Structure 1
Amino acid sequence: MPTGHVTRHPANWLPAMRGTMIRLVPAMFAWEILQLPLYTLGRDGTAWEIAFAILHCTAGDALIALAALSWALVIVGAPKWPERAFGRVLAATVVIGLAYTVYSEWLNVEIRRSWAYAGAMPVLPILGTGAGPLLQWAVLPPLALAGARRALREQAAKP
């Protein structure tokens, strides 16, 4: 019974995902620390509360990033990603991350009141979402994805 023709190519999507997450999680951790003054917790929280929030938010960011990248790959990815469809996957990852961030910030600031913005947090009109978290998702995933792709290309170019 014939099995059909199968084209083989190296599977770079897994090293690309790993490379992205290896770059993104420490960047998210640093971002959480840097944006702490934009939240009331940075002013009013105990050292333990602040440390817990930084670790908790970084873990949440990692899960959101992994889910956003995974969904982007499922929706717009190509079998040879990241060599093909890189821009589409990057854009979809950012859009998914931003959409979830708008929802999460609304839910946790307005509805649950789990955290609050300090006066220093710039807030987007209409949405009411803090600019810090939106900037985080607009900047860090593209940098991490591009860094992972560059590292794969450099590794492939080695003899």
Structure 2
Amino acid sequence: MLVYLAASTLGHLLWEIAQLPFYTIWPDGGFGQIGFAVLHCTAGDVLIAATALVLAQWAFAPASRRVVGATLVIGAAYTAGSEYVHAVIRTDWAYSQLMPTLPILGIGVLPMAQWLVIPAIALHLAHRQIAAFSR
């Protein structure tokens, strides 16, 4: 779990920084506001990652492929709902013109991709670590 959380934290932090130009906060926000947003979003990402893994392990342990699949589905589902509420309904944040969006929902493609790529990499690294210790 520790390797997964460490990899998730680093991955989500880097992703949040890389996708800043796809949000209006990039040209409009100050350094402090942008820094707070990155840290706040990364902390939220790590909480989602931990919760998704714990729920998946509880439901499907020890079937590792099911745990991986459930972790990705739970994280992506939460992200889709959160993006829809915050970017579409409440407009707590806004996408720049650079952000590709999913038809019908109007949510960003990059946050959804983030929740498929980062957890998959983190789970792979954690699995490799477990396999190395069990040899």
Aligned to 1:54: 38
Q: Larger Rg: 1 or 2? A: 1
Q: Distance in 1 between matches of 2:69 and 2:107?
A: 20
Q: CA deviation at 1:111?
A: 2.0
- TM normalised by structure 1 equals 0.82
Local SS of the residue matching 1:118? coil
> Aligned Cα RMSD in Å?
0.9
| Structural mapping, 1:60-99, within 5 Å | 60-78=44-62, 85-99=63-77
Q: Deviations over 1:78-132 (max 9, x none)?
A: 2xxxxxx111101000000110011000110122211000000000111211011
Query: Which runs of structure 1 show a deviation greater than 3 angstroms over 4 or more consecutive aligned residues?
Result: none
2:12 maps to what in 1? 28
| Counterpart residue number, 1:132 | 110
Query: What CA distance in whole angstroms lies between the structure 2 residues aligned with 1:43 and 1:101?
Result: 24
Q: 2:123 aligns with which of 127, 132, 145?
A: 145
Partner of 2:86: 108
| TM-score, length basis structure 2 | 0.96
| Matched-pair contact (CA < 8 Å) for 2:86–2:93 | yes
Distance of 2:54 and 2:133 partners within structure 1? 23
Structure 2 contact 88–107 (Cα < 8 Å) conserved:
no
% identical aligned pairs: 46
Higher helix proportion (structure 1 or 2): 2
